[in-house]
């Protein structure tokens, strides 16, 4: 059965709904277990949702933000996802939220190993995935040499370093593995625009793209949120 797509009439409504889901998931986790963790994607699409979420009243010292993937650039580089998250969620960090980086100033491979160690103990109350028009999600790029490793459900790693020549911002990437997403309670796939929707629908109908790999029995079923 093709997964349902929850549609919003406007991007504003889509962002509001996304922010509410993040806030609710983290608030629920704090109420239940006294701590909460969200893994967030970079890229342009989710930025307004992050701004809205940062205005929420949460017990921020109990919240940890992690990344879905990272471009292998320092946090002060315009392409950095860490930089983006720290900037757009500044009120949350000012309020005491923690951040778990993927980037480290080592070689790409060493940074991948360091991030893997940091991410191994994490469980995610919510993971916000994005998608590119080529059907990539996280840094699972079509044609990347390590794509198989990234998607391998038996991969013991949580974070992998890889190179994808077509990747925006930096071809060198750090990414959660699909196996790490088995530790997520909830997955959101946030997409906007007709082109991405058409690519996702084609991927789910059999014209495979990495985003289709999110729809696997071992993972929570992604909730697809979309606006034109
Ligand atoms: C990244 C991402 C990536 C992103 C998509 C969509 O760092 O590039 O985390 O997977 O979610 O590329 O990006 P846009 O929202 O900019 O289209």
Q: What is the pLDDT of residues 12-69, one digit of tens each?
A: 999 999 999 999 999 999 999 999 999 999 999 999 999 999 999 999 999 999 999 9
Q: What pLDDT was estimated at residue 12?
A: 98
Confidence band for 198, pLDDT divided at 50, 70 and 90: very high
pLDDT for the residue numbered 227: 98
> pLDDT by residue (tens digit) across 62-112?
999 999 999 999 999 999 999 999 999 999 999 999 999 999 999 999 999
Average pLDDT score over residue span 143-151: 97
Q: Which residues, other chains included, contact 33 with Cβ-Cβ below 8 Å and sequence gap of 6+? A: none
Is the pLDDT confidence value at 146 over 90?
A: yes
Mutate to test the pocket of ligand 1, among 14, 43, 85, 197 (most ligand atoms within 8 A of CB): 43
Distance between first and last Cα of the chain: 23
Of ligand 1's listed atoms, the one at least distance from the Cα of 43 is: 16
CATH number assigned to the domain comprising residue 74: 3.40.50.1360
Tell how far the Cα of 55 is from the centroid of ligand 1, in angstroms: 23
- Residue 17 host element (H or E): helix 11-33
As a residue count, the chain comes to 228
Query: How many angstroms does the Cα of residue 167 sit away from the middle of ligand 1?
Result: 9
Is the pLDDT confidence value at 127 over 90? Answer: yes
Q: Quick one: pLDDT band at residue 161, thresholds 50, 70, 90?
A: very high
32 Cα to the center of ligand 1, angstroms: 31
Measured from the CA of 81, which atom of ligand 1 is nearest? 7
The mean predicted confidence, pLDDT, of the chain is 98
Q: In which band, very low, low, confident or very high, does the pLDDT at 2 lie, cut at 50, 70 and 90?
A: confident
Nearest atom in ligand 1 to the alpha carbon of residue 167 is 8
Ligand 1 atom 11, closest CA? 130
Determine the 3-state secondary structure of 40 from DSSP: strand
At residue 1, does pLDDT exceed 90?
no
Residue range of the domain that includes 167: 5-227
Instruction: State the total domains in the chain.
Output: 1
What CA–CA distance (Å, rounded) separates 96 from 99? 10
Mean pLDDT of 144-171: 97
Q: Percent of the chain, pLDDT > 70?
A: 100
Residue 156, class by beta-carbon neighbours within 10 Å (0-12 exposed, 13-18 middle, 19+ buried)?
exposed
3-state SS record for 97-131: CEECCCCCCCCHHHHHHHHHHHHCCCCECEEEECC
């Amino acid at each position: 059965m093709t997964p349902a797509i929850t549609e919003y009439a406007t991007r504003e409504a889509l962002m509001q709904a996304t922010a509410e889901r993040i806030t609710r998931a983290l608030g629920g986790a704090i109420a239940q277990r006294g701590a909460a963790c969200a893994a967030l994607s970079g890229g342009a699409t989710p930025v307004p949702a992050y701004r809205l979420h940062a205005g929420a009243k949460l017990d921020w010292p109990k919240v940890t933000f992690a990344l879905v993937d990272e471009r292998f650039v320092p946090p002060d580089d315009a392409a950095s996802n860490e930089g983006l998250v720290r900037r757009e969620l500044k009120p949350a960090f000012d309020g005491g939220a923690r951040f778990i980086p993927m980037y480290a100033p080592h070689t790409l491979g060493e940074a991948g190993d360091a991030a893997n160690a940091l991410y191994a103990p994490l469980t995610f109350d919510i993971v916000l995935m994005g998608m590119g028009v080529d059907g990539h999600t996280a840094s699972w790029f079509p044609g990347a040499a390590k794509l198989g490793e990234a998607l391998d459900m038996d991969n013991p790693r949580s974070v992998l370093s890889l190179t994808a020549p077509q990747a925006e911002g930096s071809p060198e990437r750090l990414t959660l593995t699909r196996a790490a997403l088995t530790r997520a309670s909830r997955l959101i796939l946030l997409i906007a625009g007709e082109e991405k929707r058409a690519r996702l629908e084609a991927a789910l109908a059999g014209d495979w793209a990495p985003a289709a790999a999110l729809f696997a029995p071992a993972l929570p079923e992604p909730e697809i949120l979309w606006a034109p």
